[in-house]
Amino acid sequence: MAKMVSSRLLQIPESPIRKLVPYATEAIRKGIKVYYFNIGDPDIDTPEIMLEVLTNWKQKTITYSRSHGEPNLLESLKNYYNKLGHTFINIDHLLVTLGGSEAISMAFLATTELGDEIITFEPFYTNYNSYAAVNGIKIVPVRTFAKDGFHLPSRQEIEKKINKKTKALLYCNPNNPTGTVYTKKEVEMLVSIAKKYNLFLIADEVYREFVFDNRQHTSILSYFNKIPNQAILVDSLSKRYSLCGARVGVLCSLNKEIMDGAMRIAQGRLSAGLIDQLMASKLAKVPESYFKKVHREYENRRNVLYKGLLSIPGVSVPNPEGAFYCIVDLPVKDSEDFCKFLLTDFNLNGETIMIAPAAGFYATKGLGNNQVRIAYVLKVEYLKKLIQILKKALPAYNQTLKSRG
Amino acid sequence: MAKMVSSRLLQIPESPIRKLVPYATEAIRKGIKVYYFNIGDPDIDTPEIMLEVLTNWKQKTITYSRSHGEPNLLESLKNYYNKLGHTFINIDHLLVTLGGSEAISMAFLATTELGDEIITFEPFYTNYNSYAAVNGIKIVPVRTFAKDGFHLPSRQEIEKKINKKTKALLYCNPNNPTGTVYTKKEVEMLVSIAKKYNLFLIADEVYREFVFDNRQHTSILSYFNKIPNQAILVDSLSKRYSLCGARVGVLCSLNKEIMDGAMRIAQGRLSAGLIDQLMASKLAKVPESYFKKVHREYENRRNVLYKGLLSIPGVSVPNPEGAFYCIVDLPVKDSEDFCKFLLTDFNLNGETIMIAPAAGFYATKGLGNNQVRIAYVLKVEYLKKLIQILKKALPAYNQTLKSRG
C-alpha cells in the first residue's frame, strides 16, 4: 500500500526561481556557459574583515551559539540600528534568525492563526508563498502595475481586501522583485491602515541600503513608536554584505509577546550557525568605503541593464529604483517556456542566461506570464552579454514557436 | 489597543534545557564558575581537517549553496551511508537541512495534517514538543521506565495509543535523554507496528556512533527495504564531529513524495550555510582514529559519571548504554527548583553546575519532577566536580527547603 504524505506538504509550491535549475545543469553538462540572473546571489566580494574571521579561526570546537544570537553580533546589530537613527533599539528587540527566511516564517506564525490571511503586493517575493504554505495561511495579493513603477495602489484598493481573517500587511522595501522604493507617503499610508484596522505590519527591508538616484529609504523603524505592538521588521545581512550563504537574518519588534514567542521557537532549533554569526558580527567594522563602492557598482549595473533592455524591440521595464531586481515585460506569451528555451535550445557563442519566469511572483493566476525577473547580481560585462543574448533569443524563440506550429 | 499575537505562538513551549540560562548568566556575573551539563554541546575538538576549511578559506563571496545541499557534502554523506552497509542510498534520498532540528520539523510536516498525532516514548528529546507546536500536531507519549533502562514497553502498550489521528511513530536511537540503545528486536517491533498500521516511522539517529560496552547500533536504514515509503531517517553531524554550531543535518527517505516536498520547503528557505557545509563535507577524510578516541573518551566519561552518581545517597540511574545523556533520579520533589538552586544559592569553592530538569522531557504532566538530565559533554575532571557538587548540594538544598518552611 502506498503511503500518502500530508496534503500540506503537497501544497508547498516549487520555487520559480530555482525550478529551472535542472535545465541549467543539463546545459552546463553540454558545455554551455550559463550566467545566473535568476537568483539574488551577488558576485560582490564579502568584506575582507568578515572573511578574516575564517582565516584567523582559532576555536577548536564548533559549539552551539545562544538561541537569542551570538552576544557580539547582537551588540553589533543594535549599534547598526542605533546609528541609522533608531536609538530606541536594544538587543531585547532583536533575534538572530537563520536567514531572513526564518524571520519571515516566524513573523507569519506569530501573527496568524491557521487559515488567516496576510495582504501583500503582487508581484511579490515568491518564497512568501512557501512560508505561507508551511504556516497554513493565505497570501492575499493587491496588484501593482508596471505603468506605476509598481508603486502602491490607492488606500481604497488595499482596504477592499481587508476582512476578519486579515491579520497583517506585508511589504518588501526596496522591493524584490520590482526594484520599487516606496515613498515616505506610501509607508505612512501602510502604517495608517495597520493602525486603523489593528493589523500587524511586517516590513522586509533586506535591501535597505540599495536605493538609487539619491532616493531616501523610509524604514518601518521610523514608525515603531506609532504602532509599537504591530510593527515587525524582517532583516538579513545576506545582501548588504554579500553573505547569502551565511544564514544570518534578524527579527525585530517592540512587541514583547512576539519576541518571547520567537525566542521559544529559536530555542527549539537551538541556534543559528556560530561561524556565520561571528563573521557577521564584524559588520560594525566594515568601512564606509565598502558600501559606497558596492552602491556605485549596483547603480551602474542598473543603468546598463535598464538602457540595454529598452534597446530590445518589444521589451519594457520601469526604471528600477532600488534593490537589484526588475520585472521585465517580454514579447512572449509564456515566459516560463522562454526561460526554459534559453537553457535547452539556445546559446550565443556557447553562452546563455538563466532568468526567472515572473508568474511565480504573482498570486493571481494568469498574471506575469509575459514577464521575467532579472537579478542584476553579476558584473556589467555579463549584463551586456545578457542584453545580447536576449536580443538574439527573443526572435529565435518566436521563430521556434512558429515552426512548432 | 493591545495587539494579541497568535494562540499558536503562545503555545510554543519554553526549552527546559535553556530556560535556566538567565540564572546561569547571573551566577557568572557574581563571579561563580558554571559547568554546563544541561545541553548536548560537547567540548571535544572538531576534526582538524574540518577546521582547516576555515583557515584555508579562499572564496571571496559567501554565496548561497544549493537548496538540496552542497554537491560535495551530498556525495560525502552518500559515501558515509554506503560505507555503513546501506549501499542503496544515493543523493536523491538525502536533503541537507539546517541541523537535525529542521529535518525533524520537515518530517512532522510531511507526515501529518493539522491536529494529527505522532507517538513517541517518554522521556523524550524535549524539542520534539517545539516542532510539534510549530507544526500544529500533538505528541502522544508512551511511557518508559528507569527500572527497564528506559527500554521500550510491550507492543500492546504502544498499539493502545494508535488511533485514526496517529500518523507516525518517532524514536531516538541511541536515546536522548535516556542514553538507551534499542536492541534489534525493539527496532524490528517498531518496524512491524509501522507496517501493520501503515504509519510512518521516523528515526532520529544523531547519536548513531555513540554506543558503549560493544553494543551494536541497529539503524532504521537496515529496514528501509521493508517499509520503503514509511521510513524516515533524521540525522545530524553536530554530535558525531563536534559540529553543534554548524547547522548541518540530514533528512533521508526512499519516499519520493517526501523528498520532493522537503526539497520545496528547502527551496523556500534558500539553502543551508555554505561554510558549514563545506566544512562538513570533509567528513570522509576524518581518520578512524578520531572516532576511536572520541568513543573511548565518552565511554570513560560514562563510567566515571555512572559510578559517581551511584555513590551519592538517594540518587539512582540506569547505566547509560549510548549517546551522552542520562536521566537521573534525585532525592528531591521539584528538580527544576533544585536546578535553579544550584545556580542561585549554591557553590562549592566558587563553582557550580547547570543541569536540566527532566519534567520538560515528559509529555505527561507530573512525571519527571524528581529527575534531571545530565549531558556528559565535559571532561572527566569536570564530571568529578559535578559529582562533588551534587553530593554537597542535595543535602544543602533539602536543608534550605526545611528552613523555607
pLDDT tens digit string along B125-148?
Answer: 999 999 999 999 999 999 999 999
CB A84, CB A105: distance < 8 Å = no
Average pLDDT of the segment spanning A112-138: 96
Average pLDDT of the segment spanning A66-92: 97
As a whole number of angstroms, the longest Cα–Cα distance in chain A is 64
Task: Tell me which chain A residues have a C-beta less than 8 angstroms from the C-beta of B230.
Answer: 3
A28 touches chain B (CB under 8 A): no
Average pLDDT of the segment spanning A379-404: 95
Average pLDDT of the segment spanning A108-127: 97
* CB nearest to A61's CB, from B45, B112, B279: B45
Cell 548504554 belongs to: B321
Say if residue A255 is in the same domain as residue A349.
Answer: no
What's B83's domain CATH number?
3.40.640.10
pLDDT of residue A12: 93
Say if residue B277 is in the same domain as residue B303.
Answer: no
Say if residue A243 is in the same domain as residue A336.
Answer: no
B114/A98 CB distance under 8 A: no
Say if residue A261 is in the same domain as residue A130.
Answer: yes
How far is A396 from chain B, CA to nearest CA, in Å? 31
Residue whose C-alpha is closest to residue A44's, from A297, A364, A246: A297
Task: Tell me which chain B residues have a C-beta less than 8 angstroms from the C-beta of A128.
Answer: none
The full length of chain A comes to 405
Closest-CA residue of chain A to B101:
A269
Count: domains in chain A: 2
Tell me if A243 is assigned to some domain. Answer: yes
Average pLDDT of the segment spanning A367-392: 97
Task: Give all strands (DSSP E) within B135-206, no chain letters.
Answer: 138-143, 166-172, 200-204
* CB nearest to B67's CB, from A18, A273, A275: A18
Instruction: Give me Rg for the CA atoms of chain A.
Output: 21
Residue whose C-alpha is closest to residue B144's, from B193, B178, B186: B178
Tell me if A163 is assigned to some domain. Answer: yes
Say if residue B37 is in the same domain as residue B159.
Answer: no
Percent of chain A's residues with pLDDT above 90: 94
Percent of chain B's residues with pLDDT above 90: 94
B112/A21 CB distance under 8 A: no
Residue B1 banded pLDDT, cuts 50, 70, 90: very low
The upper half-sphere exposure of residue A165, i.e. CA atoms within 13 Å in the direction of its Cβ, equals: 13
Closest-CA residue of chain A to B270:
A101
Average pLDDT of the segment spanning B4-13: 92
* CB nearest to A15's CB, from B242, B257, B267: B267
How far is B194 from chain A, CA to nearest CA, in Å? 11
Residue B260 banded pLDDT, cuts 50, 70, 90: very high
Which of A337-341, B163-167, B333-337, B399-403 shows the lowest per-residue confidence on average (mean pLDDT)? B399-403
Task: Give all strands (DSSP E) within A94-229, no chain letters.
Answer: 94-97, 117-122, 138-143, 166-172, 200-204
Task: Tell me which chain B residues have a C-beta less than 8 angstroms from the C-beta of A55.
Answer: 54-57
Task: Tell me which chain A residues have a C-beta less than 8 angstroms from the C-beta of B356.
Answer: none
* B260, B285, B310 - which closes a domain: B285
Say if residue B206 is in the same domain as residue B308.
Answer: no
B contact test, residue of A62, A274, A294 with most B CBs within 10 A: A62
How far is B60 from chain A, CA to nearest CA, in Å? 5
Tell me if B373 is assigned to some domain. Answer: yes
pLDDT of residue A40: 84
A274/B245 CB distance under 8 A: yes
Tell me if B51 is assigned to some domain. Answer: no
B242/A62 CB distance under 8 A: yes
Task: Tell me which chain B residues have a C-beta less than 8 angstroms from the C-beta of A17.
Answer: 267
A contact test, residue of B62, B196, B224, B236 with most A CBs within 10 A: B62
Say if residue A258 is in the same domain as residue A305.
Answer: no
Task: Tell me which chain A residues have a C-beta less than 8 angstroms from the C-beta of B273.
Answer: 245-247, 273, 275-276
Average pLDDT of the segment spanning A304-321: 97
Torsional class of B137: left (φ above 0), alpha (ψ -120 to 50), beta (otherwise): beta
B contact test, residue of A1, A5, A206 with most B CBs within 10 A: A5
How far is B86 from chain A, CA to nearest CA, in Å? 22
Query: Is pLDDT of A2 > 80?
Result: no
* CB nearest to B15's CB, from A61, A262, A268: A268
pLDDT of residue A1: 47
A3/B198 CB distance under 8 A: yes
Task: Map B207-247 to HEC letters.
Answer: CCCCECCCCCCCCHHHHCCCCCCCEEEEEECCCCCCCCCCC
Q: Return the DSSP state at A325.
A: E
Say if residue B298 is in the same domain as residue B322.
Answer: yes
3-state secondary structure of B119: strand
Separation of alpha carbons A378 and A354, rounded Å: 12
| pLDDT 10s digits, B234-245 | 999 999 999 999
CB proximity under 8 Å: B 73-112 to A: 98-99, 101-102, 105, 109-112
Residue A18 banded pLDDT, cuts 50, 70, 90: confident
* CB nearest to A113's CB, from B8, B44, B247: B8
Range of the domain at B65: 59-285
| pLDDT 10s digits, B177-216 | 999 999 999 999 999 999 999 999 999 999 999 999 999 9
Say if residue A95 is in the same domain as residue A233.
Answer: yes
Task: Tell me which chain B residues have a C-beta less than 8 angstroms from the C-beta of A62.
Answer: 46, 50-51, 242-246, 279
The full length of chain B comes to 405
* CB nearest to A65's CB, from B45, B62, B245: B245
Separation of alpha carbons B263 and B319, rounded Å: 40
The CA-based angle A250-A286-A91, given to 5 degrees, is: 30
* CB nearest to B269's CB, from A21, A55, A99: A99
- The complex scores an ipTM of 0.95
Beta bridge pairs of residue A327 = A373
Average pLDDT of the segment spanning A301-319: 97
Tell me if B53 is assigned to some domain. Answer: no
A10/B257 CB distance under 8 A: yes
Beta bridge pairs of residue A236 = A249
| pLDDT 10s digits, A156-205 | 999 999 999 999 999 999 999 999 999 999 999 999 999 999 999 999 99
CB A324, CB A375: distance < 8 Å = yes
Angstrom distances, CA of residue B257 to CA of A2, A3, A12, B229:
11, 9, 12, 9
Tell me if A2 is assigned to some domain. Answer: no
Beta bridge pairs of residue A77 = none
Q: How do B200-204 and B166-172 pair as beta strands?
A: parallel
Say if residue A257 is in the same domain as residue A301.
Answer: no
The CA-based angle A185-A191-A193, given to 5 degrees, is: 100
* A285, A312, A338 - which closes a domain: A285
Tell me if A273 is assigned to some domain. Answer: yes
CB A350, CB A33: distance < 8 Å = yes
- In total, the C-beta contacts within 8 angstroms joining chain A to chain B are 249
* CB nearest to A62's CB, from B39, B56, B243: B243
Residues 6+ positions from A395 with CB-CB distance below 8 Å: none
Task: Tell me which chain A residues have a C-beta less than 8 angstroms from the C-beta of B274.
Answer: 245-246
Which DSSP string corresponds to B96-110?
Answer: EESHHHHHHHHHHHH
CB proximity under 8 Å: B 257-296 to A: 257-258, 261-262, 264-265, 267-276, 279
pLDDT of residue B40: 85
Query: Is pLDDT of B2 > 60?
Result: no
A62/B245 CB distance under 8 A: yes
How far is A248 from chain B, CA to nearest CA, in Å? 9
Query: Is pLDDT of B54 > 90?
Result: yes
* A256, A285, A314 - which closes a domain: A285
Say if residue A298 is in the same domain as residue A374.
Answer: yes
B3/A230 CB distance under 8 A: yes
Separation of alpha carbons A221 and A232, rounded Å: 9
pLDDT of residue A4: 85
How far is B237 from chain A, CA to nearest CA, in Å? 11
Q: Which amino acid is at A329?
A: D
Separation of alpha carbons A319 and A297, rounded Å: 16
| pLDDT 10s digits, A240-285 | 999 999 999 999 999 999 999 999 999 999 999 999 999 999 999 9
Residue whose C-alpha is closest to residue B165's, from B192, B131, B136, B125: B136
pLDDT of residue A3: 64
Beta bridge pairs of residue A34 = A352
What's A367's domain CATH number?
3.90.1150.10
A112/B200 CB distance under 8 A: no
Separation of alpha carbons B340 and B353, rounded Å: 10
Task: Map B285-348 to HEC letters.
Answer: HCCHHHHHHHHHHHHHHHHHHHHHHHCCCCCECCCCCECCEEEEECCCCCHHHHHHHHHHCCCE
CB proximity under 8 Å: A 140-169 to B: 167
Cell 536605493 belongs to: A211
Tell me if A56 is assigned to some domain. Answer: no
Average pLDDT of the segment spanning B306-310: 98
Which DSSP string corresponds to A21-42?
Answer: HHHHHHHHHTT-EEEE-SS---
B3/A46 CB distance under 8 A: no
* CB nearest to A102's CB, from B61, B129, B269: B269
Average pLDDT of the segment spanning B34-57: 95
Specify the pTM.
0.95
Say if residue A148 is in the same domain as residue A272.
Answer: yes
Average pLDDT of the segment spanning A370-389: 97
